Chain A
């Protein structure tokens, strides 16, 4: 592949530079101009081939908008997305279509993302038929082999989506993403619609496929443990900005942004004697609200006058860890959150 050949070891597979996306709200009054939502407010990140990036944050933090821009499904208001050094939003439509071989997407809801009237063969083959025009026989061979890779049987090829369980459907969705042999898979909440035991199967599969094909994932999830399990690096988003990024062990072990800490603190602990820890309920800030200071300040227990006046920039704390908080050092110095100990299930016989 020409792009692969051109790609040197130092060019990131994916580079996002200062991405801004604005959406216009519906007009509420004839006299006023319509409001705007700043869904992404200057997001920059890069991802090397074979590495995985996790993106966490609440709904409305801009995670899915970022995914749509990385997938070149929308044009950004400003900023650029570079896939192996090439700006996806500056290439011709035809070139973009061919470039899509390199990056594919897995959606959240395996019930909504598969056309109920198409057979598995047709669903899985679609990205390939859109790129080249393979004959029927090659296509079936390719589909069968990719289905085997995701743990489905050859016999499943002519079935319809309703004949499968949720976990199997998500495997079909992953097979559809894999068939073009992409380098990057953007997965938007791939396991949140699945049951716990099935979720583990799909996460293990995603990990196996990564080892086998050297895939990169951009994994969007609200579940911090899922991101921790699958990713080399994590970015925490809040109201369209990355507020903290780093390796999962740094980020979850010693978080430097109060928002990350709040997210970690909110995860319920599955253990005996788990006492409810109360938190103050906090008003959710709105995105269209433009203020000078830190966007998290209204919810932050540590915020002071300086935070409300000057927006903090993302700054490096260690080589692999950066946070956008004036008080990052004092957040890191806070006592660690009570994490779930690796307690033995079988404590002692009665």
Chain B
């Protein structure tokens, strides 16, 4: 039995190398984080920064050609290198995932009831009647109107928000320890987004799950998680409690993301601060800091080697050798 304060999920020095047509790509490197029971962690970054591949690694869903190094421990049990048959017992049972697009995450050929009951039948060994009863209770809990009657309805008969509720019910069916939500509201309207995030927050609190919320929206991260990591070029560039990161952004990329968002009330005619260039290809990452080519504070030393994660506050780490310069940037200039 583990001590009560031992982390539920412990990811240490995770590295993932993928084989692509352009040669090996270091999709993820030196990613470490821990997650305790009941804790919420946000992962923020643009597409191609390694957020989703990290999530897939936790679920053991990487392609066979992927080369994984480092360790992922769930309650002390090593998951890297676990046989697929053993992973099948964990997936949807102890770790489950809410996917971005509810339309593609649901099978259009099966009824929603069938899809919600499937993990129950597979993992808990209960009878079909019992699975149906539980599935209806779950659908009711996620706020799907009239679940008993709509149990045999197909995904196309629901709206986007309702479909996302169904995928949440699927993910929660076996009361997982870790819930991974990969951009759960990106495809939805703001008002529906609010409802879905409220629902996830309620369920996480109610069942004492740990949650990893992946999003590109800084607002969603700020409102929904206790701790966050910012990923860029396959690595963690900043991590800390949400409050610490938002009150003191230490990495130029985090600052850039924050500044690039159009904000309500910013007067017309003002220009948005862009980050020049685009996210680097993971197949040909630069030798040093992956952000060096887009950074305004870059110096020669940045290109020499990947900077290490250094602390700028309690539990607040930044992977940048120019943090001091980034932090001392004129606040007005950073905002405008």
Residues of A in contact with B (beta carbons under 8 Å apart)? 58-59, 165-167, 195-201, 203-204, 207, 222-226, 228-232, 248, 252-253, 262-264, 266-276, 278-279, 281-284, 339-340, 342-347, 349-350
**CB of B265 closer than 8 Å to a CB of A:** yes
Please tell me which one of the listed residues A266, A269, A273, A281 contacts residue B143 in the complex, with CB atoms under 8 A apart.
A281
How far apart are the CA atoms of A58 and B189 in the complex, in Å? 6
Interface centre among A167, A196, A223, A253 (most CB of B within 10 A): A196
Stretch at the interface among B114-122, B146-154, B243-251: B243-251
Please tell me which one of the listed residues A58, A199, A345 contacts residue B335 in the complex, with CB atoms under 8 A apart.
A345
B128 to chain A, nearest CB (A): 30
How far apart are the CA atoms of A169 and B7 in the complex, in Å? 43
Closest residue of chain A to B263, judged by CB? A225
Chain B residue total in the interface (Cβ 8 A): 62
Question: Known: A196-B257, A197-B257. Contact between A229 and B327, CB under 8 A?
Answer: no
With a CB–CB cut-off of 8 A, which chain B residues contact A269? 219, 222-223
With a CB–CB cut-off of 8 A, which chain B residues contact A262? 191
Asked whether, in the complex, the Cβ of B219 is within 8 Å of the Cβ of A198, the reply is no
**CB of B275 closer than 8 Å to a CB of A:** yes
Residues of B in contact with A (beta carbons under 8 Å apart)? 46-47, 143, 145, 159-161, 189-195, 197-198, 201, 216-224, 242-249, 255-258, 260-266, 268, 271-275, 278-279, 312-313, 327-329, 331-332, 334-335
Asked whether, in the complex, the Cβ of B265 is within 8 Å of the Cβ of A268, the reply is no
Interface centre among B143, B222, B273 (most CB of A within 10 A): B222
Interface centre among A231, A266, A270, A284 (most CB of B within 10 A): A270
Please tell me which one of the listed residues A232, A271, A283 contacts residue B222 in the complex, with CB atoms under 8 A apart.
A271
Please tell me which one of the listed residues B161, B249, B262, B265 contacts residue A226 in the complex, with CB atoms under 8 A apart.
B262
Asked whether, in the complex, the Cβ of B248 is within 8 Å of the Cβ of A346, the reply is yes
Asked whether, in the complex, the Cβ of B334 is within 8 Å of the Cβ of A346, the reply is yes
Asked whether, in the complex, the Cβ of A340 is within 8 Å of the Cβ of B216, the reply is no
With a CB–CB cut-off of 8 A, which chain A residues contact B218? 196, 270
Asked whether, in the complex, the Cβ of A232 is within 8 Å of the Cβ of B268, the reply is yes
With a CB–CB cut-off of 8 A, which chain A residues contact B161? 284
Question: Known: A58-B191, A272-B247, A276-B224. Contact between A344 and B331, CB under 8 A?
Answer: yes
B110 to chain A, nearest CB (A): 22
Question: Known: A226-B262, A345-B249. Contact between A165 and B222, CB under 8 A?
Answer: no
With a CB–CB cut-off of 8 A, which chain B residues contact A344? 331-332, 334-335
How far apart are the CA atoms of A252 and B300 in the complex, in Å? 45
With a CB–CB cut-off of 8 A, which chain B residues contact A225? 261-264, 266
Asked whether, in the complex, the Cβ of A248 is within 8 Å of the Cβ of B268, the reply is yes
Question: Known: A197-B46, A270-B218, A281-B198. Contact between A222 and B260, CB under 8 A?
Answer: no
Question: Known: A225-B263, A252-B265, A281-B198. Contact between A200 and B274, CB under 8 A?
Answer: yes
Asked whether, in the complex, the Cβ of B193 is within 8 Å of the Cβ of A200, the reply is no
A258 to chain B, nearest CB (A): 12
Closest residue of chain B to A191, judged by CB? B262
With a CB–CB cut-off of 8 A, which chain A residues contact B279? 195
Closest residue of chain B to A265, judged by CB? B194
